[in-house]
Amino acid sequence: MTFNYKIIANSKKYFIISAVTIAIGLVFMIYNIAVGNGAFNLDVEFTGGTEITVDMGNDFNVEDIRTIVIDTTGVAPSQLLRILGTNQVSIRMHELETEQRVALIDAIVSTYNLNAEDDITMADVSATISGEMQRSAITAIIAACVAMLLYIAIRFRDLKIGTSMIVSSVHDVLIVLLCYSVLRISLNYAFIAAMLTVVGFSINATIIIFDRFRENKRLAVERAKENFMMSRKAGKEPTLEEQLDLSINQTLLRCVYTALFVLVVTLCLYILGVPAMRDFIMPIIIATICGTYSSVFLSGPIYYMMANKKASE
């Protein structure tokens, strides 16, 4: 089944949707900075802090623990989860003052009738993700983009295709990064893995579209040669806009089905999985949606703009 959507003709609408989405995300980020929450919700792995392990002895509700933490310290924990196979809970927060620690321990002990010395363990956590590691993560993302650009340029023999793919990937990375700020998802080790996953997934559907575009372009040239040999008269070749629209429409269902399958799996993991996985799964869900969007509605128009600009020079 082939659709007949005019993607290139309506490209301005798609650019506006992306621009508005990014602008909204930036507004939320600026607001968070203005109210003192910071641009991102940095986990203790970035900032250092306090880790408290409590042996509850019996079954408990994690949300009740979260309420106690917020009420006694005035700060939401950056990570709070049940240790699998035990009745223990791990609470990780930014560094607490002595008064806050005492108040939190007293509240937990009195609420659940625990022994502070035997049932509660507290330790300081250093910032394991140092500035050097952050720079290494950024370098890894840039290196991945450059490597993909070179590979795509060699495979498709068109640097403009590679550039349009990288621009689409940067768009997806920026959207996911802003979602971290808007949704206050904790930035931890999973963030680095999520960003690299975003770059890899974003490029997948785009390669499928441009591979079909290359094939359609080759077939158009062959048909033009055949028409010329048969009638000794050059036939009318499809325009670049028509070729791009045809390629996108021919691969649209495949791109959508792939994204839907990924969404089904990730949503199941998000709903049924342990809370510790959700900070990684949510960005992947967002990346799947915006990656499919950018592949279908942005990569082709970006290539068309660059090709037209070069042709007009």
pLDDT digits (tens, 9 = 90+) for 1-11: 567 889 999 99
CATH architecture of 49-125: 2-Layer Sandwich (3.30)
Mean pLDDT of the chain: 83
Rounded CA separation 91/78 (Å): 8
Q: What local confidence, expressed as pLDDT, does residue 196 receive? A: 78
Distance CA 50, CA 79 (A): 11
Residue 135 makes CB contacts below 8 A (sequence gap 6+) with: none
Question: Would you state the pLDDT for residue 97?
Answer: 81
pTM here is 0.80
Write the DSSP assignment of 101-155 as a string of letters: HHHHHHHHHHHHT--HHHHEEEEEE---S-HHHHHHHHHHHHHHHHHHHHHHHHH
Over residues 241-274, the pLDDT tens digits come to 989 999 999 999 988 898 899 999 999 988 887 7
Q: State the burial class of residue 193 (Cβ atoms within 10 Å of its Cβ: 0-12, 13-18, 19+).
A: middle
Dihedral angle, C-alpha 75, 76, 81, 82, nearest 10 °: 60
The answer to whether domain 11-34+130-229+237-312 and domain 49-125 are alike in fold is: no
CATH number for the region 11-34+130-229+237-312 comes to 1.20.1640.10
Three-class secondary structure of residue 49 per DSSP: strand
What are the counts of helices (DSSP H) followed by strands (DSSP E) for the chain?
11, 6
Domain map of the chain by residue range? 11-34+130-229+237-312, 49-125
Question: What pLDDT score was predicted for residue 230?
Answer: 61
| pLDDT tens track for 279-310 | 888 888 998 899 899 999 999 999 999 988 76
